[in-house]
Amino acid sequence: MHRPGTLVPLTALVLALGGGCSSPAPDPKVPRASQPAYTQTSEPADSPTSAGKVLNEAPDDLRGLDWARTAVPGDFCHVPGLIRFRSGKAPVRSDEWGSVRAEHFPDDVVYGDVVGDSRVEAALRVGCDTGGDTASGRLVWAYLVFTSEDGKLVLLGTITPQQYAGGQASSFESIDLARGRVTAHESWHRQADAVCCPSGKAVTVWRVGDDGTLEAGAPRVTA
């Protein structure tokens, strides 16, 4: 005997399954196996407001800050948010280069009075590379210049080499902090230079702008 009532649920089930197969909704993302070495924020670290941004707590005298444990903005490596290092290094995800390795050098911090308020500012050397520990894998070098305001660490600017001829990342020979300016002594590769041996030298003076952050002048080639 024909029983139409038993066909209706079966038909509805088939339609429901078919509708599920054609649904445009994406599958849920697979969670990360471990936490990233950087902290995502709603605002990219390479936005115009990175300089002047209030970061971690800090003493008035930055010479007393534990730089090895200090998280820093990742804009120098096109990494959103803050990077936290372990033993000077951190695996990160760069918007520009993908999976790379960031590093910092807390034992080489340079101090000087840039703002002109008798307190010292600090320049922390940072960089990132492909993780291969070779000169050809170097992506960028930079200095992050900080000050302390009301017990907070504030980024004044990210100092990057301004002289570049292509091929290899430019680096620094030294950096000087003085009232109203930061002077970067750069080392850069000419087209014919080997990876190991850049022959170019340049000096770029960064000055404190009207907004209190650092602005680069034109690089002056010295060699």
Q: What is the number of structural domains in the chain?
A: 1
Q: Give the count of alpha carbons within 13 A of 159, CB side only.
A: 32
Domain that holds residue 97: 34-40+53-221
Whole-angstrom CA distances from 140 to 59, 132, 168 are 29, 14, 9
Q: Which has the closest alpha carbon to 115: 218, 207, 216?
A: 207
Residue 209 corresponds to which amino acid? G
According to the model, what pLDDT value does residue 179 have?
Answer: 95
Residue 11 domain flag:
no
**Per-residue pLDDT reduced to its tens digit, 62-100:** 999 999 999 999 999 999 999 999 999 999 999 999 999
pTM: 0.78
Residue 25 domain flag:
no
Residue 181 domain flag:
yes
Residue 83 domain flag:
yes
Residue 102 domain flag:
yes
Task: With a cut of 50, list the residues of the chain below it in pLDDT.
Answer: 1-49
Q: Which has the closest alpha carbon to 75: 105, 107, 53?
A: 53
Task: In whole angstroms, give the CA distance from residue 171 to residue 32.
Answer: 34
Q: Which has the closest alpha carbon to 110: 155, 177, 57?
A: 177
Q: 2 in helix, strand or coil?
A: coil
Q: 208 in helix, strand or coil?
A: strand
**Strands 181-188 and 200-208, sheet pairing:** antiparallel
According to the model, what pLDDT value does residue 50 have?
Answer: 61
Residue 141 domain flag:
yes
Residue 188 domain flag:
yes
Q: Which has the closest alpha carbon to 206: 157, 144, 153?
A: 157
